[in-house]
Each structure stands twice: as structure tokens, then as C-alpha cells.
Structure 1
Amino acid sequence: MTSDAYRPSPLAQVGSEATEDRWTLVFVRDLRHPPEKVWRALTEPGRLSAWAPYTADRDLSEAGGVTLTMIDDEKPQDMVAEVVRADPPRLLEYTFGTDLLRWELAATGDGTRLTLRHTVQDRDMLPKVAAGWHICLDVAEKLLEGQPIPPIRGAAAVDFGWSELNDQYAQRFGVPNTGLPDHLKDGDETS
């Protein structure tokens, strides 16, 4: 299957939490796969690089230092990170630059309720982050179903509905749509 046929799934259940001088995106998605299978997609470098905007230099199933390599634009960029908590297959928490990612997996009758808490510095990043994870998790779901499509990340995501998702999530959060994140702009505003 190719990414040409990809269309974004319906909007996810989202919310936000203010924490001191930071904001946390709460992104909830129900997946039709058991927590153990979802856990492998979140932690194993080969699977992670098939859907996420980064890969890791080691399995994320254990606490400790890790290098995450951003692969969402033309120049891969290494970031020193730290797996803060790893409780397979229920909880994974790690630093991501100045951000914090917390993945919570809860078994449901027919799969997994995945709750991502992504803490960012600025409130206007919430819709951008939600739109990006929305597309990445759509791709992850295809991978989990055994029908993988190529990763959709970085500036390429604009061609697959990122701008529309960003706008819709901005409306949900009640924040202005400020377009692409700075690291993806190439001198002109795309959205």
C-alpha cells in the first residue's frame, strides 16, 4: 500500500492541561491491537522509524539515556534524550528535546486505549503537535494492521492533510492557527 491513498482518520479525542509555565497535549486514540503489540511499535527502533518523526539508537523499553534521531526533514538531527519511566506494556515516558512524552496504554475489550501526553513550552504548539501525532498514529495503525504505508512526517505531511488537521485542532483548543512549526518553514508560510 502507498501513502498516496492515505486520508486522515477522524479527529482524535484531545484536551490540554496547563502545568506551571508549560502545556500538555492529551491525545487519546483507541487502537484495535493488544497493548503488547502497540508497545513494540512505540519502543523498537525498527518499528518506531516506520511511523514516528524520529528513531532511537536503542529499544526504549528500559530507563536510561538514549539518542533520538529526528528524521522529519532533509537533515537528520540527533537529540540526547532520557527514558524516565518504562513499565511494559503500560507506560513509557521520555524526554524529547525540551518536551516530555508520556505514552499510557490501557487494555480494552478489543484493543488498546493509547493516551499520549506531550508537554510543550507554548500553548500555540498544541494543535501543531496534535496534527503531527494524528498523522503519525494513522501510519502506525497501518503498520500494526500489517498493511504498512511509508512514513508521513515533516514538511511532507502538509500534502496529506496536516494543515487541515492543524486548523481543526486549533479550533478545538481555541488557539490561533499559526501554521507550520518554524523548523518546517522554508521561508514562506504554507498554511
Structure 2
Amino acid sequence: MTTGTYLEIDGRPALRFVRDYPHPPERVWEAVTDPTELAAWFPARVAFPGRGAPTAGGEVRYSFDTDGDGGTGTVVVHEPPHRLTLTWAVDELRLVLEGRHDGGCRLTFTALLGERDTAARTAAGWEVCLEALDAALAGSPVGGPGSGPTPAWRRHYEDYVSTGVPSGAPVPGA
């Protein structure tokens, strides 16, 4: 089952995912900003050189096999524990946490994309990543998303394509 929505923001292709958690924003904030916790769900290792934590205007380093081989980005917005925006290559990743009346919170994750034809591919990837975040926050970490297309990724990709989400970009590792 897919949970993302394709949309355009200021003429730019984007994906939006919404998740509700029984945890307060501060707990989920740690899961989405602490490099150790990011390892449980984010598709690359994340480092914030200098301070070790995100700061507005600071650098973000993404790594897969070797330090920095995933490129760098910038922390555009850092408003703990509610808003974090990072750049990664041509994409912009926006995470917004809103407290709920029951003590939990809602995470709205929006990925602004550089290219329209990457939407289905990227949506499937973030779907797998967010499932790993769900598991980690539930206390049952699955070890982070792997590299390359997994059966779960393929299932999500096919679902997104079948619903008309733009596709056509090459799939790395396929």
C-alpha cells in the first residue's frame, strides 16, 4: 500500500507523506535529526560536520560506502522540534512535526524533486524508508533500508506507476 501523494509546489514536482505517531514531537524530532537514529531509516548515513547536529545554514554530508560519496547539502530550516528542511542534490526534503491533542504528533514529509520522471522511483524509496522509521519508532527497528531495489520497493514502485505518478527515470541497481 502506498501512502505518498504526488503534487506540484510552485511548479516543481513533489511527494508528500503523512504519518501519525503516538510519540510527542520531541521524540520524533530525535529520530529525524540525530545521525545515530537516522541510520535506522534514512537511505544514507547523515553527518552534520562541525557541530554534529543540524544548524540552519550548516552542511549535511550524505554517505553510502565512503564518507561523503552521497554528496552534500544544506540545512535550510532548523526549528526544533517542529521544522527541518535539507537539500540533497537537486531535491529538497521538508519535515514538519505537529503535536496532536492526544500527546502524539503528525509528521508531514515533503520531498521536492529536481525531475518529474523520478517521482515514482523516489516515492517508492521514501515509502520503504518511512516504513523503517515507523518500525524504529515502534521499538522494532528493521536495520534501515538497504541499497538497490528490494521486493518491497518494487511493489511500491509498481503501485505508484499504476496510479499515474510520473515515472521513467532509470532505477539504480536494477
Q: What's the TM-score once normalised by structure 2's chain length?
A: 0.84
Which one of the candidate residues 102, 105, 113 is aligned to 1:112? 105
**Whole-angstrom CA distance in 2 between matches of 1:60 and 1:93:** 13
Structure 2 matches for 1:1-191, cutoff 5 A? 10-20=1-11, 22-58=12-48, 59-71=52-64, 77-108=69-100, 109=102, 111-155=104-148, 158-172=149-163, 174-175=164-165, 177-178=167-168, 181=171, 184-185=172-173, 190=174
For the residues of structure 2 that align with 1:31 and 1:180, how far apart are their CA atoms? 33
| Cα deviation digits, residues 102-124 of structure 1 (max 9, x gap) | 10111223522111111112222
- Judge conservation of contact 1:17–1:26 (CA < 8 Å) in 2: no
Superposed CA RMSD in Å reads 2.2
| Partner secondary structure for residue 154 of structure 1 | coil
Kindly indicate whether the alpha-carbon contact (under 8 Å) linking 2:44 and 2:70 is maintained by their aligned counterparts in 1: no
Matched residue count = 169
SS in 2 for 1:12: coil
Distance 1:170 1:65 in 2: 36
Distance in 2, Cα, partners of 1:42 & 1:164 = 25
For residue 137 of structure 1, give the secondary structure of its aligned residue in structure 2: helix
How far off its partner does 1:176 sit?
5.4
- Give 1:105's aligned amino acid: L
One-letter code aligned to 2:17: F
Gaps of 5+ in 1: 1-9
Gaps of 5+ in 2: none
1:177 Cα deviation (Å)?
A: 4.4
Q: Which amino acid aligns with 1:170?
A: V
Query: Which secondary structure does the structure 2 equivalent of 1:64 belong to?
Result: coil
Per the TM alignment, residue 67 of structure 1 is displaced from its structure 2 partner at its CA by 3.2
TM-score (norm 1): 0.78
Contact 2:118 2:166 in 1 (8 A): no
Percent identity between the aligned chains?
31
For residue 128 of structure 1, give the secondary structure of its aligned residue in structure 2: helix
Q: 1:171: how far off?
A: 2.7
The answer to which structure has the higher helix fraction is 1
| Counterparts of 1:141 and 1:133, CA distance in 2 | 12
Measure the CA separation in 2 of the matches of 1:18 and 1:61.
25
